[in-house]
Structure 1
């Protein structure tokens, strides 16, 4: 638990009446407020985020005795973190998309995909799941959702369908992307070997990966589509799961998502071409796509230009991970303590929470700007047109930006005041049953922060402590935090906001949340059961 201004965490289990249960109930009020406002009262996402933030501030000041000034400073740090790097990242990604629309090359891309397969079920797997996994493995921070959502939209998917498909697809890659950062972060806060944590996560997440393509096909076309396309979806899930398992266990955790995404894309393309699934007319990407493809053949150079922005993104992020390049980019990173903010950890030592990392050159958003400048040249977009597109992007994202700022301020206040730690400590009191709750803790962390890396930072050490007290394998439960967290991505307000904004559904994040919540609960229950069985002789053979 973290308390401000030199105040140490008390020895009692909670700040209220020496009751951990009562303390957890109070600490949960901001999250309950967020879910109720968004899912029940159907208010706009920015209202839900700011309402939950207000409750979190009240709880931190009244129940946790956090000075008002410190609480507000913590919120300001979270809001600034939302602007950089999060808004900087997904705003720039959507800007690149807008330039492809302005130049007409997104229509070329749509026709190109239609020539390979104009079946929405196949496109959902290749674009949202496979290509999205590559983007998550390279960039993360909302980039896969922002890019794949608008790609699906341009290919004829309805706005709501495009958003829901992209959100579901952006789950299992989150455990290892970008470039293994969630796992290395988990290793850093737990002092456990990163390779062991990655190997364990690689024996949990692929099980869920088997199900995601089947779920995507069902979302696109219903039960009939699933009956006709199950073998393509199964091939997609099995190839992805196998590649993710082998890469994370025997090669490189950092490349697990990239390798899995590329392998499964090739498998889907081959299977769908050799054994094309039967389909109904409404499963074509666009009712007029066949006629459009036939009447508007595109020159090879224009097709190359249409794919170029995404190839440039992959190339730039791949190059940025070369040790020499990464070192140069990070050499100008600035670390500083947030002015006026003073927090202590459980040992009474200065907390690392007030430290703000301004990696202006190596951040995902900056690398996307470089990709955007190269895209301008390739697509022959004038500087004026590019600036207009960026201005339009920011204008369209104004409510999304406010939402993300409120949400990250909420997360920082809950973490800085100790509310998050209270919830985790209360769940850790379940003893041996904590194995079932361990993935749920990661799920909750990602649902709140939008990031598996952040969730691992919040709860990684707690998972290890709880495992040791319960006599369970700490590597298993620490990895379960990352594995359970991936399922929280689909209900994270951050991702919901990005998806809704990308397809012009700002203000309807609540509708997306209600569509996602049921599936998220089903999948987190499946993950909890898997982890629980891995602590028993039934599946203990899966633990390395």
Structure 2
């Protein structure tokens, strides 16, 4: 692969780093520019036929449509809860559990977010946890960064084990079920040593960049509780993976974690003497929160009990679980409706979404139920939905460019340069260059897949065979290397441009995507480097 071809293959990564992170351009400008450059270089250098590039763009628009539905549903649900006054009740409830923002972040982003990831995946944790944190008084930037860091370890077994059961299984062309189970157990075994420290890193980032008192020391002071919160998820998840398999570690691990942590907080176990808080006006730290407040109208309409306030979120959780269990009829019913295109421009490329199955549709349905249950006036409900629709325009532009760019990258295997698809060429180059240190590099390949594709499942599908081959070539354990692929794919979710754009959109931070990535980059590097080191020391 020549230098110009290497630059072309790296363009989606370079575009994000240069335009979003270095030049600090908003995604609404950066991603259309990156799409144009990627498409031009794919055609001129890689030799991808023009109609394949056009088909990839259309495919990307279909996929982006599904993400936009998720974002819209999250926005309209949050705004409905704020307009009805439910968020005030929820905020008061969390304050009664603990007024400390570090503790709230661990409970909501780490444990509740992990439950949402296990039940649904596909962007649901950030779409729910980030706006909930904002509603509780977190600065929007702090909420998004916290939610993205937290939505990592649970991704291994997200959406009821999809990254393993679909990603690894299809990536290796239907290996033995026992082997897949061993890979899953090895992944969570490594994760116990690594992800258990993520809550501590998460609150250290929170205290370093936000709040009245800023500094790493304010996060480090809570290290016993943060480690307790981390182990409260990872250890039960490990036990579930060993006993039940890869479907339920994230769901049961988070439920057990919540059942352990919340009572511990209430009795003062490992709790700080002095709560750590944000500045009185969160909008000082991150522009955008004032917009969210303005769009939702007046607050409390009438006295409301905690159960009624939490009812919409309980309905969301219930619907997510009921529609994702194979043995229940609802999954087949909801997935039976599909909208999309096949064989676009006679290329064999196609894409479809299942609108009823998307979490965003469930969010919107619950928002409609909430209007009735919370007795929200019709005029206010119309205003909420209208505001949610108007707020989507920047998201449509950013996702409408970034997702097609990714699809061009992934579909570039059809070309006149006689090269593999761009991500595979990059991964093959990595194998040749770093063969002697592959256990340290393997998780970076997994992170690359998630960073580009916006999906740990797709990263595992794309690179599982390459990781298996690299393990054989370098004399490493295939099980461990594939486990590192999974953990790297988890880490890539923290900086994935699609996830960042979607999460930023929900809390009115469009234009701050580069700033978000700059803050989540260090935790991502910690995750991949620590996973590689732990595997090298204890599992090879």
- TM-score past 0.5 threshold: yes
Please point out which of 324, 329, 332 is paired with 2:334.
329
Could you tell me which residue of structure 1 aligns to residue 408 of structure 2?
413
In 1: Cα distance, 2:381 partner to 2:453 partner: 31
Aligned residues of 1:439 and 1:482 also touching (Cα < 8 A):
yes
In 2: Cα distance, 1:475 partner to 1:235 partner: 28
In 1: Cα distance, 2:217 partner to 2:171 partner: 47
Please point out which of 227, 234, 237 is paired with 1:234.
227
1:60-75 counterparts in 2 under 5 A? Answer: 60-75=42-57
Distance 1:444 1:95, change over 3 A: same
Range that drifts further, 438-447 or 49-58:
49-58
In 2: Cα distance, 1:386 partner to 1:413 partner: 40
Distance 1:38 1:287, change over 3 A: closer
Could you tell me which residue of structure 2 aligns to residue 467 of structure 1?
471
Could you tell me which residue of structure 1 aligns to residue 144 of structure 2?
163
Please point out which of 131, 134, 155 is paired with 1:153.
134
Could you tell me which residue of structure 1 aligns to residue 539 of structure 2?
539
Please point out which of 434, 441, 461 is paired with 2:438.
434
In 2: Cα distance, 1:49 partner to 1:297 partner: 39
1:513 Cα offset (Å):
1.5
1:320 paired to 2:314: no
Aligned-partner SS, 1:28:
helix
Could you tell me which residue of structure 1 aligns to residue 372 of structure 2?
377
Could you tell me which residue of structure 1 aligns to residue 63 of structure 2?
81
Please point out which of 92, 104, 125 is paired with 1:144.
125
In 1: Cα distance, 2:61 partner to 2:345 partner: 16
Could you tell me which residue of structure 2 aligns to residue 310 of structure 1?
313
In 2: Cα distance, 1:382 partner to 1:298 partner: 10
1:450 Cα offset (Å):
2.0
1:271-290 counterparts in 2 under 5 A? Answer: 271-275=264-268, 277-280=271-274, 282-283=276-277
In 1: Cα distance, 2:237 partner to 2:317 partner: 19
1:453 Cα offset (Å):
1.3
Could you tell me which residue of structure 1 aligns to residue 451 of structure 2?
447
Aligned residues of 2:236 and 2:249 also touching (Cα < 8 A):
yes
Aligned residues of 1:34 and 1:51 also touching (Cα < 8 A):
no
TM normalised by structure 1 equals 0.86
1:25 Cα offset (Å):
3.9
1:61-210 counterparts in 2 under 5 A? Answer: 61-84=43-66, 86-185=67-166, 186-190=168-172, 191-192=174-175, 193=177, 194-210=180-196
1:460 Cα offset (Å):
1.9
1:425 paired to 2:431: no
Give a deviation string over 1:287-307, Cα, whole Å, max 9, x none: 99xxxxxxx999995211111
RMSD of the TM alignment (CA)?
A: 2.6
1:83 Cα offset (Å):
0.9
1:284 Cα offset (Å):
6.9
Could you tell me which residue of structure 2 aligns to residue 492 of structure 1?
496
Please point out which of 152, 177, 200 is paired with 1:214.
200
Give a deviation string over 1:202-248, Cα, whole Å, max 9, x none: 22333322111111222333434334422211111111110111112
Range that drifts further, 163-172 or 368-377:
368-377
Would you say how many aligned residue pairs link Structure 1 and Structure 2? 500
